[in-house]
Amino acid sequence: MIIITEYAAARVQIQDWKQKIGTDEQYNIWICGPTGTGKTQIMKEELAGIPHLYLTGGVTPSWLHNVCWRHLNEPIIFDGSIRKWASLMGGMLEDLTETKPVKTLQWNKIRNRNFDRDTPNSFYTKSPVIFVTDEIRGKPALSLVDRFTIVEFTPTLREMLKYMRSWIGADEFIDENIKSFDHAVGWLDTVSPLSCREWMKAKKGWEQARLSTRKQKERNNEVEAYKMASIRKQKERNDEVEAYKMEVKRAKCQTKHHRRISLYPFSLSI
């Protein structure tokens, strides 16, 4: 078993498997690990541009036989819970996961609607297989383990946050979490308590909270601006009243001065 805790190392492992497809050194690979760590995303990115068969739901043996013929010699990816493939264990998957380069697939039952007319009952294929699951358990699954290179992918919290930065952005959100977890010694180097999907939900909640905070701040600024405008207008009114009072006082003083002059029109001399 290969234990991997870094996304870069996981990519290297898939690239090694990819380079050996179609050669005598090709092998089957089983990637397992906690749910929501980006296993499927990495695998899809690394297989982009390469013809392959990607299966996510439960299928019948006859249908699988049919699509394996249509995707002859192409890599076949089984992604999801191991329970989805229970109906294939012990028969079709044993043939398909043989460790030899050339395998024989057979399905000798009566043809049904899942079969193309040109699909033979038996054919040879060189298709390598990838399993991507959260765990490996159950007797049928354990019987296939020795046919695969097992890769246990358990990225640390530090690695997951770094990986999420590359495809969801939100640097400020990531930095805040790194800063908060960094206070607890060793936490960043343990397995993430949340899956990528849960981190995405946390990011949306964080964005909504920031939006609410920003809107509340805008409202507070508007209220503050209104208060300042009201204070400014009140001050202008007070200044106008004060100016008017001063003008009235000045006018009264001038009137009183004129009255004094009228009472004493002539200067007295001794």
Quote the pLDDT of residue 270: 45
Give the residue-averaged pLDDT of 183-192: 53
Q: What is the mean pLDDT of the chain?
A: 76
- Identify the residue with better confidence: 186 or 93: 93
Quote the pLDDT of residue 185: 45
**The pLDDT of residue 68 is above 80:** yes
- Identify the residue with better confidence: 141 or 30: 30
User: Distance between CA 62 and CA 106 in Å, rounded?
Assistant: 9
- Identify the residue with better confidence: 253 or 96: 96
Quote the pLDDT of residue 268: 46
- Strand-pairing partners, residue 153, are 4
Quote the pLDDT of residue 208: 64
Q: List pLDDT tens digits, range 202-261.
A: 656 556 656 666 666 777 777 777 778 778 888 888 888 888 888 877 777 777 666 555
**The pLDDT of residue 120 is above 70:** yes
What's the chain's length in residues?
270
* Residue ranges per structural domain of the chain: 2-155, 158-193
Q: List pLDDT tens digits, range 126-145.
A: 999 999 888 887 777 777 88
What are the φ and ψ backbone dihedral angles of 93, each rounded to 5 degrees?
-70, -30
Q: Are strands 148-153 and 53-55 parallel, antiparallel or unpaired?
A: unpaired
pLDDT-based confidence at 63, cuts 50/70/90? confident
Domain 2-155: CATH architecture, name and number where available: 3-Layer(aba) Sandwich (3.40)
**Residue 38 CA to chain centroid, in angstroms?**
9
Give the residue-averaged pLDDT of 78-91: 72
User: Distance between CA 188 and CA 207 in Å, rounded?
Assistant: 23
Considering 6-20, 134-148, 168-182, the range whose residues carry the highest mean pLDDT is 6-20
User: Distance between CA 56 and CA 73 in Å, rounded?
Assistant: 19
pLDDT-based confidence at 124, cuts 50/70/90? very high
Residue with tokens 């009243």: 241
Structure tokens at 269: 């001399």
The answer to whether residues 153 and 8 touch, using CB atoms and an 8 Å cutoff, is: no
Quote the pLDDT of residue 29: 92
Give the residue-averaged pLDDT of 55-62: 79
